[in-house]
Amino acid sequence: MDSKWLEDFLSLSRHGNFSLAARERCVSQPAFSRRVKALEETFGAPLFDRTTTPVTLTRYGERFESYARQVISTLKEAQREIAGMLPQTDNTIVMVSLHTLSINILPDMINYLHRAYPQVSFAVNACMQGIDNHFNALLNRQIDMLVTYDLLQAQPSLETAEHLKRTVWRYERFIPVMATPLLAQISDERSPIPWLRYSDYTFVQKIIAPAEQQVASRLKPVFESGLSESIREMVLRGMGLAWLPESMVAEELACGKLVQLWSDNKARQREIAIVIWCQRQENRPILNLCWEKLSRKSQG
């Protein structure tokens, strides 16, 4: 059983509404409903009466509620105790980010901090899946910093946000690029363009979709992936057009391997902020120093 299911149970018990509880738990309503259902299947009994408005606890749910509160309380007490045992001189900063950013942005950020504080070591945690899990990890102090795009779909709930602080690291542009030899094949304004697209579930696809819509009638899908580096490799092999982070293809653009299309058309480009999240109340001196360093750079 996943302990976050217990938090889900208590949230739904408190709100009596799946939508409100899902928002509080920083997860989509379908995902939240699946987690509640999984908890009920674990016990083999319905914990909520869904025929009432608001949703109410069944007799099984009423019986289980005190146990759920006790388990959550015990876990939080254990977290506080373990946190109090950790040395204040721990110089490891644990970071997590979206996959594209871990390749494209984190190395520069880590190098920037390491030059200022060479005693610091860094660990990049790429194990967690789902933005709600990332924010929960911040709240639970499993990680120190979260780096993500400033998207509506990548925001914490208002309740979670109260315990966090954020700063903008820099802005990233996604631009349409292709291998230079392929450019001659699409010189006709009506000719189809082979298109290397991001999977719909990715955050990057949500960012670049408005730019793609500008030329949607000409785009012919030939490849799909959820990974920027995979799409980049296909672009370099002359497979087609893709919107990629400008920082990821800067060298190839400079040497002429790749060319940017429609460079004078801002509607066919997308710019978005890259933000860093951290616990608002933090008692580790080195983490506070690193946060201040990152914040000063973003303000400068």
Query: pLDDT digits over 153-197, tens only?
Result: 888 888 888 889 999 999 999 999 999 999 888 877 788 999 999
pLDDT of residue 134: 87
C-beta of residue 242 within 8 angstroms of C-beta of residue 176: yes
User: 67-95 pLDDT, tens per residue?
Assistant: 999 999 998 888 777 666 554 557 899 99
CB-count burial class (<10 Å; 0-12, 13-18, 19+) for 4: middle
pLDDT of residue 129: 66
User: 192-251 pLDDT, tens per residue?
Assistant: 999 999 999 898 999 999 999 999 999 999 999 998 999 999 999 999 999 999 999 999
Q: How far is Cα 192 from Cα 289, in angstroms, rounded to an integer?
A: 52
Q: Which whole number is the average pLDDT over 104-123?
A: 93
Beta carbons within 8 Å of 242's beta carbon, 6+ residues apart: 176, 177, 178, 195, 196, 197, 231, 232, 234, 235
Q: Which whole number is the average pLDDT over 103-128?
A: 87
pLDDT of residue 217: 94
